[in-house]
Amino acid sequence: MFLDKIVATKQSEVADLSGRFSLSESERRIAQMPQCLGFERAITTARKRSVGLIAEVKKASPSKGLIRPDFHPVELAQTYASAGTDCISVLTDTEYFQGSNAYLTAVREAVNVPLLRKDFIIDYRQIYEAREIGADAVLLIAAILRQSELSEFYDIARSLGMDVLVEVHDREEMETVLELDKATLIGINNRNLKTFATDLATTETLIHLVPPGIAVISESAISKPEDIAYVQAAGAKGVLVGEHFMRQPDVREAVEQLMGPVTNH
């Protein structure tokens, strides 16, 4: 299964990271960094439109291969920022998405928009690394973590001042996350990470399980205003969009066409 392959790659990357990671050194460097920008606040209470937008900087993917050959992460992030994007997701995985930690750091220096490190976190050291490279939030994927790991990693991220987007794709994952009673921001991924099949109805089916007070982001396979209307009607407070924007020559226009004008909510 492809997700197992990704996790195996992450295990070898983490083995490498472990060799150069010092907790005390990382804590010392983080203590000297500015505070994180409020990712969750930006996509929920402070969002610029009735549906919040996390726009993704994504060069390639396992399901689609190379998506944007002419790829300039900083320019893309600046365009997203000027188009009124609430948050930006930057893929840092190299092997499968042709992303990079350096892209996130460069984007951090160029825009004043909260940033999500989009990667496959399986070890606490990756959370410290996320903070050090400039992330304001991390993604925790329920499909690849035990409940105890979700809990531990959630607490570590929060202790470092970052917000957490906890991602689920099915009922069992949602129940695991809700039972934990920590997540205030849940991403429902419309893409099955094991088969790559996408279905927006995933958001509509799972959102019914979410109690009030938890904001839901509908992730993946969103490309039309009707898709936005559909997940909004289901109850999503925001969307995460990558491939659709990456395939457009004029990204700013694509954001405006998909999301409509900024209304400051």
Ligand X SMILES: O=C(O)c1ccccc1NCC(=O)[C@H](O)[C@H](O)COP(=O)(O)O
* Closer residue to ligand X in complex, CB, 195/263: 195
Residue 102 vs 197, nearer CB to ligand X: 197
Give every CB contact of residue 46 below 8 A, 6+ residues apart in sequence.
38, 86, 265
Q: Which of 43, 57, 133, 221 binds ligand X (CB under 6 A)?
A: 221
Q: How far apart are CA 245 and CA 54, in angstroms?
A: 11
Which of 44, 237, 243, 255 touches ligand X (CB under 6 A)?
243
**CA 218-52-138 angle, 5° bins:** 65
Rounded CA-CA distance 217/62 in Å is 22
Our CB check for ligand X shows the closer of 33 and 229 to be: 229
Residue 148 near residue 121 (C-beta atoms within 8 A): no
C-alpha atoms less than 13 angstroms from C-alpha of 112 in its C-beta half-sphere: 1
Residue 240 engages ligand X in binding (rule: CB under 6 A): yes
Q: Is 134 in the site for ligand X (CB under 6 A)?
A: no
- Does 52 sit near ligand X (CB under 6 A)? no
CB of 239 to ligand X, least distance (A): 9
* Coil, strand or helix at 155: helix
For residue 232, state whether it binds ligand X (rule: CB under 6 A).
no
- At its nearest, how many Å lie between ligand X and the CB of residue 196? 6
Mention every residue, 6+ apart, whose C-beta is less than 8 A from residue 173. Answer: 142, 143
61 in contact with ligand X (CB under 6 A) = yes
**Which amino acid is residue 116, in one-letter code?**
L
Short-list 167, 121, 157, CA closest to 136: 157
Q: Is 57 in the site for ligand X (CB under 6 A)?
A: no
Q: How many residues are recorded in the chain?
A: 265
Question: Does position 62 bind ligand X by CB under 6 A?
Answer: yes
CA 230 to CA 101: how far, in whole Å?
Answer: 34
Q: Minimal distance in Å, beta carbon 192 to ligand X?
A: 9
Identity of the residue numbered 166:
V
56 belongs to the binding site for ligand X (CB under 6 A): yes
Q: By CB under 6 A, is residue 94 in contact with ligand X?
A: no
Give the residue, chosen from 40, 129, 163, 219, that forms a contact with ligand X under the rule CB under 6 A. Answer: 219
Q: Does 40 bind ligand X (CB under 6 A)?
A: no
189 belongs to the binding site for ligand X (CB under 6 A): yes
- 203 binding ligand X? (CB under 6 A): no
Between 26 and 100, CB nearer to ligand X: 100
Chain centroid to Cα 210, Å, comes to 19
Considering the rule CB under 6 A, would residue 191 count as an interface residue with ligand X?
A: yes
The one among 21, 71, 124, 196 contacting ligand X by CB under 6 A: 196
* Closest residue by Cα to residue 182 from 207, 164, 160: 164
- Which residues here bind ligand X, judged by CB under 6 A? 56, 58, 61-63, 189, 191, 193, 196, 219-222, 240-244
